[in-house]
Amino acid sequence: MRQLVYVAGYGRSGSTLLDIVLGNHPQIFGAGELTWLFRASLTDRPCSCGQPLSACPVWAPVVSRVANSHPGLTLSQAAKLTLEAERLFGTRADLEQYVALWQTVCRAILEVTGRPILVDSTKSSRLAANRLPILAECLGVPVKILHVVRDPRAVMWSVGRGSNRGLEGRGIGRPYGGMARGLAGWMFSNYVADRTRRRFDPSASKLVRYEDFTRSPTEVLAELGEFLGVDLGVVDRDLQQGVSFDPGHGVAGNRMRRQGGITLKRDLEWQERLPPPARLLALLARPQARRYGCT
């Protein structure tokens, strides 16, 4: 692997969209929320390609290589080991085993895909608050951080419309409770992302605003290409021509990955439909949001 690109921030902020767009470049593999690989494999969740992970042409051989390299480690143990090391206030008692495990995973991804740049859009939730610092220490490759931020009011509206499970027909939305939790998650995850970025050289991280990306994708992709050292012109041409993007082979991530071909479109529904009580609640995040250019 030549480079790890880590997408930090909170969910419902465009991280899956960015992962998919970058992953359509021939040198880049968009892995989705990679931290959940072993937990998702336990229940054989579907890959974004539509196949169960056990039948996916990418993840099946990756998991097989990991199993061969760590014969005494079950999927359940790998999932627990990952969670314990990465979560907020997690333990580093088994850090050496964790490092060996994830070095194997990243090496296997390169062997299977042949793509030297890996995008991990796990982000910065409390369950993965320490993932990026640990990976940066153990992988021995350059790390670039894309801190993806969306207006917190838009995130609240997205959460209020329903969870990914709800929109897939497996549950119902929880409007106000969900919006409040979404706002709290936005504030916490972006705080963690900011804290993590300060541990790296400023040149290793970049803020990406969802609103900028969906409004001016050509300009943002040009900036990202320069930042990552990759010519993203081929991806930009596809965007300009309205080509549907292949959702690739993402682990977890939101329902967008399972909708087939992906096109870029702005989502401004919240501006008209977000209820006044939610707008009032969003004022709690206003100082933090202003630092990211949200008005």
pLDDT at 256: 62
pLDDT at 1: 85
Nearest to 193 by CA among 96, 292, 264, 266: 292
Q: Are 185 and 11 in contact (CB under 8 A)?
A: yes
Angstrom distances, CA of residue 11 to CA of 7, 50, 106? 10, 22, 23
pLDDT at 261: 65
3 state DSSP class of 245:
strand
| Rounded-to-integer distance, Cα 6 and Cα 225, Å | 15
Q: Are 188 and 126 in contact (CB under 8 A)?
A: yes
pTM of the predicted model, to two decimals?
0.94
Cβ-based neighbour number of residue 170 at 10 Å: 9
pLDDT at 164: 46
Nearest to 29 by CA among 56, 68, 69: 56
pLDDT at 234: 95
pLDDT tens digits, one per residue of 241-251: 988 899 999 99
Q: Which is it for the CA torsion 10, 12, 13, 16, positive or negative?
A: positive
Higher pLDDT, 254 or 92: 92
pLDDT tens digits, one per residue of 30-77: 999 999 999 999 999 999 999 999 999 999 999 999 999 999 999 999
pLDDT at 45: 96
| Rounded-to-integer distance, Cα 131 and Cα 27, Å | 23
| Rounded-to-integer distance, Cα 139 and Cα 145, Å | 15
| Rounded-to-integer distance, Cα 86 and Cα 108, Å | 21
How confident is the prediction for the chain on average, in pLDDT?
A: 92
Average pLDDT over residues 110-118: 98
User: Among 69-83, 142-156, 231-245, which stretch is predicted with the lowest mean pLDDT?
Assistant: 231-245
pLDDT at 274: 95
pLDDT at 255: 60
| Fold type of domain 3-153+190-267 | Rossmann fold (3.40.50)
Q: What proportion of the chain, given as a percentage, has pLDDT over 90?
A: 84
pLDDT tens digits, one per residue of 211-221: 999 999 999 99
Bridge-based pairing of strands 143-149 and 117-120 is unpaired
Average pLDDT over residues 69-88: 96
Beta strand extents in the chain (DSSP E only): 3-9, 28-30, 117-120, 143-149, 205-209
pLDDT at 166: 43
pLDDT at 167: 37
Cβ-based neighbour number of residue 265 at 10 Å: 8
| Rounded-to-integer distance, Cα 92 and Cα 181, Å | 28
pLDDT at 170: 41
Q: Evaluate if residue 168 carries a pLDDT over 60.
A: no
| Rounded-to-integer distance, Cα 74 and Cα 94, Å | 15
Higher pLDDT, 261 or 109: 109
Q: Evaluate if residue 159 carries a pLDDT over 80.
A: yes
Q: Evaluate if residue 163 carries a pLDDT over 60.
A: no
pLDDT at 260: 58
Cβ-based neighbour number of residue 292 at 10 Å: 17
pLDDT tens digits, one per residue of 188-212: 999 999 999 999 999 999 999 999 9
Q: Evaluate if residue 112 carries a pLDDT over 70.
A: yes
Average pLDDT over residues 231-246: 93
pLDDT at 259: 61
